[in-house]
Amino acid sequence: MVKKNKKGWIRIMEAFVSILLIVGVLLVAVNQSSAASGDTAEKIYRDELIIIKAIEYNSTLRTSILNINEASLPVDSFSAGFPSNVNSTINANTPVYLSCSAKICALDDECLPSISISSNIYAMKRGIFASLDKYSPRKIALFCSD
């Protein structure tokens, strides 16, 4: 009788260890898939930063943004009042796997995307404050979707 009891406890321990192994494998798999999506977001934000800095550091593009009439703000990249040289810089620096649009707003306004949201949208905003001869603070928001 004592031997049968030992066999029962051994089977219970085997079942417990196998459940722990299965749960451990599942946790590792879930953790790797969530880390991969985090890497994608990080890559998209890096690409957005490259586009924003290309606009921010170019004095001609900054001047184009600052010359937009205050009354016509906000202006998105689909409207006629958006500077074409800024739009072409965004299109030239946008990677193939992204679709990006921009919006220029007054500094104290919210810059929300004008497009319908059907997938993940990654946003980055920067202040454009002045050029060599003009101070007229604006905000440019870049919206990219994968």
Nearest-Å Rg of the Cα atoms of the chain is 26
Q: How far apart are CA 38 and CA 32, in angstroms?
A: 10
Query: How does residue 96 score in pLDDT terms, banded at 50, 70 and 90?
Result: very high
Query: pLDDT at residue 17 above 70?
Result: yes
- Measured CA to CA, the distance from residue 80 to residue 65 in angstroms comes to 13
Look at residue 130 in the predicted model and tell me its pLDDT.
84
Per-residue pLDDT band at 1 (split at 50, 70, 90): very low
pLDDT at 138: 92
User: CA 96: distance to chain centroid?
Assistant: 15
**Choice between 115 and 36, residue whose per-residue pLDDT is larger:** 115
Give ∠ CA 51-101-90 in degrees, rounded to 5. 35
Helix (H) or strand (E) run with residue 20 in it: helix 2-56
Percentage of the chain lying above the pLDDT 90 cut: 43
pLDDT for res 8: 80
H-helix or E-strand spanning residue 99: strand 99-106
pTM: 0.71
Tokens of 43: 């890559």
pLDDT digits (tens, 9 = 90+) for 63-95: 999 999 888 889 988 888 899 999 999 999 999
Q: Which residues touch 91 (CB under 8 Å, ≥6 apart)?
A: 100
